[in-house]
Chain A
Amino acid sequence: MTASLTISLKRVNKIYHEGEIIAGVVIVDTAADLRHEGLTLTMEGSVNLQISSKNAGIFDAFSNNIRPINLINTSIELAAAGKMPIGVTEIPFEMPLVGRQSSMSLGLLETYHGVFVNVMYTLKCSMKRSFLNKPLNASCQFFVQYKQQERPPSKPVRCEVSPATLRAGGGAGAARGTVPHFQLYAEIDSTVCALDRPITGKIRVDECSVAIKSIELQLVRVETCGSAEGYSKDEFELNIAVIFEDDYLVTENFPILLLRSK
């Protein structure tokens, strides 16, 4: 007497924008007639914050865990209590993806899987069953992205890097004296980027007193948890790319292409 429950979304990549309708089917596969007390589908979206160990001291004083912030929570009934026939039954559904108006946030946030910050959206389907039988559950994650917007006029951001602008830290402070002289010029085409578009820009080595072994570029993401007490800020390396290698000094523009990995 086995039965399984799965959710299948129409869209393959499972990426939705706010205001769209999520369509799909719930598939019930049963080996025998299945009696149930009702089939419901719930859409949930929430922001989870976790406290990093580094900042734990400060937060511990107030609460161990910050309550998840609910972004969306909708539920519909797919089938009233009754009986499922033997074999595969597909129950189609459609749900509008609309954020809770009462929430203090401006709308739906983009899906984000970080280390301490998580924005997650899930569809859950549960089938209540009679006493003694466990309810059947199935869940499926989907992704929310902002709508494709008009690209903002790209405002290139320039910066220059030299030994003087290096931030102390990571042990580099002590070795400051040993850093050879160099002068880098960099330009990022835009600081506002779409998720699925590459970040582009260029780097120019204007001066360098020694031969360059390689130049690496890091994309770092910053998670900031805000609360009444202040912010906790963490940085994570996301993507490293060598854009220049081998030991010859050339002053030239190296284009940068970084893609965020999923």
Chain B
Amino acid sequence: MPTYYKWCSVKKEKQKHEYPSLEVTNHPLRVEVHNLKHNSNKSLLKSLQKWSSSFEELDPLLRFEQMDLENNSEPTIESDATVNYSKIWSVKRTAILNKYTTGEKLTIISSYLPGGEKTLLRQVSNLNEKVKHRLEQLDDFDESSVRKTMGLSQQEFVTKIHMLDDEIKKAWETEQRVKAFKIAIQCSKLLSDISVMQFYPSKFVLISDVLDNFGKLVYDRLKKKSFGDAAIELEDIDSGLVPESARETCQNWMFKMASIRELLPRLYMEMSLLKCYVFISKDEIKPAIARLITMIRGIGNPLVAIYIRVYLCKVASALYGKESECYFHDNLKEFLEEYQQIFQPAMAKKFGAQLLTADKYLSLYIPAIDWLLYGTLNTIPCKLTLLDELLQLCDKTENSELLLYCIVSGFDSPNIIKKSSAILDTIKKSAEHMVLLSPILSALGEHLCHADVYRQLSSEALSQTWWKIVSNMKSTANFLQVLEPWIQFACTQLSAQHINMLLRGTIRYMIKCGKPIDDYSSQIQLVVKRMLKSIPDVEELFLMDAFMPLVELVQTSNARTMMAKTVLLVFFERCNSVQIEDHIIIASLMRLCCILHEAINAVTVEDELKISSDLINKYIQTVSYQDDAREQLNFYVECRSAFIKLDSVLKTLVHAVHALANRARPSRSRWLSRACAAYSFVTVPSLQCALCRAQLYLLGAHAALLVACVGQAEANLKAFVSLIPDIPLYVQEDGQNKPTHVKVVGLLSNFLSTLLILPDNVDSSSKAYILSGFIKTMERIHWRKTDPLYYTLLLRTLDLLCNLTQEKYIYHIDGVISNDELYGSEEEFIDVLENYATNICQELLVVLKALGDAKETNKQYNLALELFWRIIKRGDLREGSMTSLAINLWVLSQKLQDSNNKFAKTLLSALERDTSEEGRLLFDKLNET
């Protein structure tokens, strides 16, 4: 193989119709932009966010929650007409179990649990008794001894209850029905123990489940006895058809139940067996329920009493559904009559001894009253009258707060809104003593949030009364809790002026309360979030003079950052306009962005950075000074100095500046384009990533060329060339090392195509100034010869060199005089280019050899053909050296692989179609070999 081939490029005459072209009315890429515009009517930002959110997958936990929600929502829609009490109960049940938990030690007394201290719970008084007691203890090896297990944690307690449940089932299956009955009685007895009050509601739920199961066992057995395995519903059972034996068994159960000495177990057991009355006589159930309602009066402890009422209502609703609602009402009435019991000094002593606060104690009643009220509300045709009655009752009785809270949370919004001023008055009267003040107020506030916007009730008066109550509240946490719904109410109903007043008041309160504000930062954040979400026009908020001070009330950097992030997030979510023009808003947002930026330091995690820069990017993209380009550029300058730590923001800024330059191009004077170009040229070096820098330099060069700033373009490209050695082989992306390789090829190819239009630097001594620099750099980098990146680039450079020699280049930019016009195919210029081409061709041959040495036949084959193709396409075949090189390459490729290869075949057929003399000649020669 000869070592030296001189490269000669062929000059193509006919440039005009080299490529097929057709006239189009709009740019092919414009379509995309058009679509985006359509969406932008809704919210451009939303679509932006869609692209920028990298987590399309939902968090698995969130997904479960959503699935749950879906499951829950379906049945409720179905049962709209008739309220499904068991469904609602199961929802409440879970809520109770989740809410009322304890860390206290619990005690269980039962004779059916293994282990536990063996104590007879009998008071031993005199000697006689003592002896008797000892004797009893000796006899006590049978199962009926009562054991007391103390010091159980909540979890252990729950397990024990489940064990008892299993025990009942086991006993039942082994025909020990009396034992099952006894266990059930013991379970219900546990409910008389209120030693750990805050767990009582949960305990009730657990034990009521056990009792339900027991009742079901009895019922199922009686049913089987009566009707065999026939599936028969409760409603269809005809008491007259029940056989004698089943009736007798049932009667027996009832007698057993009635002989229980203690009241509470007797009531619970009767309730659990309530539906079994159907086997005696259907008509007995309803009087029995009515009787039970009054019998519960016998239970003095208000907490125990209300929960047994809950159970009665639950059993009744399971039996009668809609019809049972009157029992809810009856129970509620009974409860209200005994209402003052809750506030007995003796009770206060009890919960005080358990270190419960009064509000915690009262909250124990809430789910129960809720349940009673819920059923009651479904019966009452006119809720307003009931509400009136209850409110009057609240007015009259002392300690009405618990009832008031349940009324406010239980009734529906329209009615509460109607009565809101009356309710507020009631609250106002006794606000100072109320422990549930903040829950009541916030519940009321939530209702008011649903008020119709158009019905201007006495919103202002309401909020004034409210403010009077609230501003006297002692606990800051409670104050903020109440503030949250009310501020939403204010946002939807009141004027900006009023909201501003409230905000000012809030700030005053927070400062006056004397506690470190940072402790409440999350609550303040919620308040601010609520405001941002509910106010009809978000931008209005920023125009209030008290809003920003409120946002910046918190002092620690962490809290401030969180706050700024929340505000920005919600703002961009709600902001409808694509552009923000108001200076005050721009300044406020700038402040928030600065807070975000300040918080960034060396240890900030990547996700955090991403979120922050996303937000700041959005801000930069939305801020607009309309036609005032100078202001806009100033703004960008300011942003650059403010957000210097975030690469992605700088990138956005550069893009924004280019966009600005481009927008202004036709009408503006050239200073703007120059300034923009300078801006980007100055900004880019501060970026971390070399690849990004290179990209932006190239972009800057493009932009400069577009506005015919040749010098600037050259500077950019020069910087680009000098950057090439710094481009890393791998970049970190999503926590993985990704090779830059493909990107670099694309980038450099883009660069080379740019060089075609770039006019040469006439002042410099060498021709093709930038290109020669590039080639020198290529030589300097010690690339592996066999690297595809390397030889691909060489091939591309060869392409460029060939094109540079043409008399008229294939593309131009208006206003830029490219080299074809500059030199006019000057001899000297062409020589330089040919020289470079020769060298590159030479280098390619070296690569070919290296590939052969490395036994990379496939690559070698492809490269040989690529080079061959360039020679026949761009090379001057009249030159002998070119022809012989082509033949050699062809021979080489044939040696490596036979000519049946598709690539080779296409090349050959293209050559065959070549009409020129030299081509024909070459083709013949090739055929010969």
Contact = CB atoms under 8 A, between A and B. Distances in A.
The yes or no verdict on A and B being binding partners is yes
A244 B298 contact: yes
A112 to B, nearest CB: 17
B291 to A, nearest CB: 6
A209 interface: no
B266 interface: yes
A12 B301 CA distance: 43
Given A250-B297, A253-B294, A257-B295, A245 B264 contact: yes
Contacts of A245: 192, 262-264, 298-300
A197 to B, nearest CB: 11
A239 B260 CA distance: 9
A97 interface: no
Given A13-B248, A255-B291, A250 B300 contact: yes
Interface residues of A, number: 29
B259 A247 contact: no
A247 B346 contact: yes
A184 interface: no
Q: Which of A200, A211, A246, A262 has the most CB of B within 10 A?
A: A246
B474 interface: no
B497 to A, nearest CB: 54
Contacts of B254: 259
B338 interface: yes
B344 A254 contact: no
Contacts of B719: none
Contact of A254 (B192, B295, B337): B295
B341 A244 contact: no
A258 interface: yes
A240 interface: yes
B297 A259 contact: no
A258 B294 contact: no
Contacts of A261: 255, 258-259
A144 B251 CA distance: 17
Contact of A243 (B244, B298, B346): B298
B297 A241 contact: no
Interface string B759-780: 0000000000000000000000
A248 B263 contact: no
B525 to A, nearest CB: 46
Interface of B is mostly: helix
Interface in B338-396: 338, 341, 344, 346
B300 A241 contact: no
Contacts of B300: 212, 244-248, 250
A12 B262 CA distance: 31
Given A12-B244, A242-B262, A254-B295, A259 B255 contact: yes
Interface string B287-304: 000010011011111001
Contacts of B344: 248
Nearest to B294: A255
Contacts of B338: 250, 252
Interface in B244-269: 244-245, 248, 251-252, 254-255, 258-264, 266
A240 B261 contact: yes
Given A246-B301, A254-B297, A259 B291 contact: no
Interface in A164-217: 196, 198, 200, 211-212, 215
Contacts of A239: 259
Interface of A: 11-13, 196, 198, 200, 211-212, 215, 239-248, 250, 252-255, 257-259, 261-262
List the 7 closest A-B pairs by CB distance, nearest first.
A246-B300, A259-B258, A248-B300, A12-B245, A244-B298, A13-B248, A12-B244
Given A245-B300, A261-B258, 16 more contacts: A13-B248, A196-B251, A198-B258, A200-B291, A211-B346, A241-B260, A241-B263, A244-B300, A245-B192, A245-B264, A245-B298, A246-B300, A246-B301, A248-B346, A250-B300, A254-B294
28 contacts: A11-B244, A12-B244, A13-B244, A198-B258, A211-B346, A212-B300, A215-B298, A241-B260, A242-B261, A243-B295, A243-B298, A245-B192, A245-B262, A245-B264, A245-B299, A245-B300, A246-B304, A247-B300, A247-B346, A248-B300, A248-B346, A250-B341, A252-B297, A254-B295, A254-B297, A257-B291, A261-B255, A262-B252
